[in-house]
């Protein structure tokens, strides 16, 4: 599910709590006001182009801040993918015993340091952020019930945004209703909605064709994916005509960002068994690198698995079977002669650790 799908989900749920949303409204409004101030230093502050660049900068800045969350989600997904063969083996072994299967699955997660919920947490954190972006831009574009302290305190700034025009279209204008006729606002809104819908369709199609293994392209889940391929773009196609142009510009910007991000991820971190993964393996081999070793390294980084001693790290023992402790540090050597019972002499070498002061031990 991409970011626009998340936004539609949150819209359906309504406000998810002012205790969480108010700080986000405050932050988002502060960023867009700061972006507008920056462009106003060398551009007309009331033009649509100034506000367009402010919206684009706001969107890109928020997406950059959210990159660590996306990276965490990606690493968690990779760790889960690396365990998939072992999970399938457990299902075959304990498929009839659901309780034992659950116990063995949790045991595997604990041994490998993988938390299946860690891939969902970043996704849930993103929901309020996207909702705050939508609410602030939507309310400011309409000029009513403005969200965010930095915008609501400056009525002149809100009027500037709601009355700004770009390509003859009003940023606060919508395609519907057509009471004022069919003009530049309707044409620009229609272009934005169609472009956004087309980008979203090709984004999901690219995901299905390039990054889905053949085994996942059959069955009920595959049918749901194909339904979403057509259903979600149609939802945006119809709902987009009632949304202000300023918000559509934000949607288009975040959709372009998501497409670029998805392309980079699929090219460099493809799902095993997919066409994209086969091409990635060929590129790695052409560069003289082992793709399997790269996958193991990535999986190890994603896990929180403690390092275990290897076969070369066995504990050393003496002749009596007691463990030998190796102490680091400088040693001193003493040599003395002893006489055995038959009168022969031999040298005995004794090595003792040199006593160090407390300050030396700290070093």
Give the confidence band of 76 by pLDDT, cuts at 50, 70, 90.
Answer: confident
Beta bridge partners of 272: none
pLDDT tens sequence across 295-330:
888 777 766 554 444 443 444 444 444 444 444 444
Give the confidence band of 116 by pLDDT, cuts at 50, 70, 90.
Answer: confident
Compute, in degrees rounded to 10, the torsion defined by CA atoms 294, 297, 301, 307: 180
> What integer pLDDT is reported at residue 74 of this predicted model?
73
> What integer pLDDT is reported at residue 230 of this predicted model?
83
Whether residue 360 is predicted with pLDDT greater than 90 in this model: the reply is no
- Decide: pTM greater than 0.75: no
> What integer pLDDT is reported at residue 194 of this predicted model?
93
CB 134 within 8 A of CB 247: yes
The residue behind tokens 């300023």 is: 246
pLDDT tens sequence across 234-281:
887 888 888 889 889 988 998 899 899 889 988 988 888 889 999 999
Question: Which one is predicted more confidently, 52 or 337?
Answer: 52
Beta bridge partners of 339: 345
Mean pLDDT within 41-64: 92
**Cα–Cα separations (whole angstroms), residue 175 to 146, 231, 273:** 21, 21, 44
> What integer pLDDT is reported at residue 308 of this predicted model?
45
How high does pLDDT run on average in the chain? 77
Compute, in degrees rounded to 10, the torsion defined by CA atoms 307, 313, 314, 318: -130
Give the whole-angstrom CA distance, residue 242 versus residue 64: 29
> What integer pLDDT is reported at residue 182 of this predicted model?
82
Question: Which one is predicted more confidently, 72 or 48?
Answer: 48
Q: Phi and psi for 271 in degrees, rounded to 5?
A: -75, 135
pLDDT tens sequence across 143-161:
778 888 898 888 899 899 8
> What integer pLDDT is reported at residue 306 of this predicted model?
45
Three-state SS for 273? coil
Whether residue 334 is predicted with pLDDT greater than 60 in this model: the reply is no
Question: Which one is predicted more confidently, 99 or 142?
Answer: 99
Q: How far is CA 131 from the centre of its chain?
A: 17
> What integer pLDDT is reported at residue 49 of this predicted model?
94
Q: Which long-range contacts (CB under 8 A, 24 or more apart) does 321-328 make?
A: 327/353
């Amino acid at each position: 599910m991409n970011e626009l799908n998340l936004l539609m989900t949150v819209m359906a749920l309504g406000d998810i709590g002012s205790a969480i949303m108010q700080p986000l409204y405050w932050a988002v409004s502060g960023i867009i006001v700061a972006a507008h101030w920056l462009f106003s230093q060398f551009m007309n502050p009331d033009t649509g182009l100034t506000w367009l660049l402010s919206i684009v900068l706001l969107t890109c800045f928020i997406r950059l801040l959210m990159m660590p969350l996306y990276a965490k989600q990606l690493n968690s997904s990779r760790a889960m993918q690396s365990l998939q063969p072992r999970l399938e083996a457990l299902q075959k072994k304990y498929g009839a015993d659901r309780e034992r299967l659950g116990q063995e699955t949790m045991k595997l997660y604990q041994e490998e340091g993988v938390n299946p919920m860690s891939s969902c947490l970043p996704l849930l954190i993103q929901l309020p952020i996207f909702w705050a972006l939508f609410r602030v831009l939507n309310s400011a574009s309409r000029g009513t019930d403005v969200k965010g302290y930095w915008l609501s305190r400056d009525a002149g700034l809100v009027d500037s945004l709601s009355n700004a025009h770009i390509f003859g279209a009003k940023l606060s204008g919508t395609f519907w209703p057509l009471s004022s006729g069919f003009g530049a606002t309707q044409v620009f809104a229609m272009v934005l909605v169609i472009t956004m819908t087309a980008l979203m369709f090709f984004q999901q199609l690219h995901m299905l064709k390039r990054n889905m293994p053949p085994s996942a392209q059959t069955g009920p889940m595959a049918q749901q994916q194909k339904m979403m391929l057509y259903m979600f773009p149609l939802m945006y196609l119809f709902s987009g005509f009632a949304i202000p142009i300023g918000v559509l510009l934000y949607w288009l910007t975040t959709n372009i960002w998501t497409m670029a991000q998805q392309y980079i991820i699929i090219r460099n971190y493809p799902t095993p068994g997919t066409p994209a993964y086969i091409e990635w393996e060929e590129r790695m081999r052409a560069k003289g690198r082992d793709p399997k070793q790269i996958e193991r390294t990535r999986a190890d980084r994603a896990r929180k698995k403690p390092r275990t001693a290897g076969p070369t790290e066995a504990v050393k023992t003496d002749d009596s079977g007691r463990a030998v402790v190796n102490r680091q540090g400088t040693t001193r050597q003493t040599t003395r002669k002893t006489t055995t019972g038959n009168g022969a002499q031999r040298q005995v070498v004794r090595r003792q650790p040199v006593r160090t002061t407390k300050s030396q031990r700290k070093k």
